[in-house]
């Protein structure tokens, strides 16, 4: 929907392996930073939407996740709405918070995404992803993935899904092989995306991985599920990100004269569609452009859901940065690298910044906000005015179960 919310402050932890840090400490750090950035007191927050996907499984904290995190930093009384929507949990929380501001229900709303995925038992971490598909059809899904891998000669992808890796890497690997077959996309082009994002991540002090990789480094890394090597797959992680949204009236009171606005946030679920019909991402992007009165040519930068390198390449096509089948040529051109026509994942993306699933969507908003405000440091996009965030979650059939596309302008 078309929005009328203004970002007053943002905050974020470093993403990574925080085995000794709990959900409350991670979430609290991001909340405190966002409120401080907004120049507000905690008492100014009128409502909060808290995104989380896997705390119940990983930590045992069910039912009142947001209330527990917020009470730990002295925020109570207010309505707290817990939002669970797979990897789109945080972007969904932001969508709902912005909608409440737009509707005139509140003047100041907090949106938080927080997640802990690391666990001593890796199978427990990976099982969080197995729950983001139709579990009643899980056996059939796994068999279909294995059969497709065998048919394509993908030896690694034919076993181990959900045990030594997230099963979503097998879903992405299958989509990658199909894209290669249909359009001639190459493994080198996928590797170029990983190398590009590693360069961007090397400039981001909050990124989980800071090492810059070459295309050769990516290609020579261990194979996870053909054609995906390890750097082509997003890692699991722990972390939190938060945004304080305000109404135009409150922004004037705060003296915000050149605001970052949530121009639109579009949320859809997948559906049973025809094989030739465009998917959820295409639908969200089309609506977002219409509601914001913008097009792909107006974008200064994009943060997209690169849970795998092929996912970013396919997102180029859904977002309209290029035509269908031309994602490989686009990354080869350098257009999506810092300094290019429309840099993608200047944060390092999920591949390098990390992917604590319930925090990812708002982490994208933090990056774009700081870019539009000119405070992104070494990775600053010159003259950034418009940013698009693309965040999907879960899988049913051949598409994401949830998809959220948000456009920020300044």
Positions marked catalytic: 87, 355
DSSP state, 322? Answer: S
Tokens of 285: 């992007």
Q: Please say whether the beta carbons of 307 and 390 come within 8 A.
A: no
Please, what is the end-to-end C-alpha distance for the chain in angstroms? 18
* Residues 369, 372, 373, 378, CA torsion sign: positive
Place of tokens 């904290």: 61
Token code pair at residue 175: 């989509």
Residue 207 half-sphere exposure toward CB, CA atoms < 13 A:
26
The rounded distance, in Å, linking the Cα atoms of 271 and 21 is: 38
Q: Cα-Cα-Cα-Cα dihedral of 371, 373, 374, 375, to 10°? A: -80
Q: Reduce the DSSP state of residue 131 to 3 states and report it.
A: coil
For residue 284, give the H/E element and its range.
helix 280-292
């Amino acid at each position: 929907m078309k929005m009328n919310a203004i970002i007053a402050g943002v905050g974020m932890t470093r993403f990574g392996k925080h085995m000794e840090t709990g959900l409350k400490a991670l979430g609290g750090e991001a909340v405190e930073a966002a409120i401080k950035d907004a120049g507000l007191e905690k008492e100014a927050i009128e409502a909060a939407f808290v995104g989380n996907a896997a705390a119940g499984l990983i930590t045992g904290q069910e039912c009142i996740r947001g209330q527990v995190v917020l009470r730990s930093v002295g925020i109570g009384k207010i309505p707290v709405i817990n939002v669970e929507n797979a990897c789109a949990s945080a972007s969904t929380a932001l969508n709902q918070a912005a909608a409440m501001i737009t509707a005139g229900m509140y003047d100041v709303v907090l949106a938080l995404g927080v997640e802990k995925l690391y666990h001593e038992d890796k199978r427990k971490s990976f099982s969080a992803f197995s729950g983001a598909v139709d579990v009643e059809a899980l056996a059939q899904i796994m068999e279909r993935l294995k059969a497709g891998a065998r048919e394509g000669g993908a030896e690694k992808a034919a076993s181990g899904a959900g045990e030594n890796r997230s099963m979503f890497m097998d879903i992405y690997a299958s989509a990658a092989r199909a894209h290669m077959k249909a359009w001639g996309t190459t493994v080198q082009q996928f590797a170029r995306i990983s190398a590009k994002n590693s360069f961007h991540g090397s400039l981001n002090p909050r990124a989980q991985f800071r090492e810059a990789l070459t295309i050769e480094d990516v290609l020579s890394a261990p194979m996870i599920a053909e054609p995906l090597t390890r750097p082509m797959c997003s890692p699991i992680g722990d972390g939190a990100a938060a945004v304080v949204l305000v109404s135009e009236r409150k922004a004037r009171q705060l003296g915000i004269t050149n605001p970052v606005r949530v121009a639109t946030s579009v949320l859809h679920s997948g559906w049973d569609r025809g094989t030739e019909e465009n998917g959820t991402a295409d639908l969200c992007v089309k609506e977002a452009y219409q509601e914001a009165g913008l097009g792909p040519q107006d974008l200064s930068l994009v943060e997209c859901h690169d849970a795998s390198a092929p996912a970013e390449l396919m997102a180029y096509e859904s977002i309209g940065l290029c035509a269908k089948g031309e994602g490989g040529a686009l990354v080869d051109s350098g257009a999506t690298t810092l300094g290019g026509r429309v840099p993608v994942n200047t944060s390092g993306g999920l591949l390098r910044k990390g992917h604590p699933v319930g925090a990812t969507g708002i982490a994208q908003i933090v990056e774009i906000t700081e870019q539009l405000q000119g405070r992104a440091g070494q990775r600053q996009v010159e003259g950034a005015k418009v940013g698009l965030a693309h965040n999907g979650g879960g899988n049913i059939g051949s598409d994401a179960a949830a998809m959220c596309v948000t456009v920020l302008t300044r």
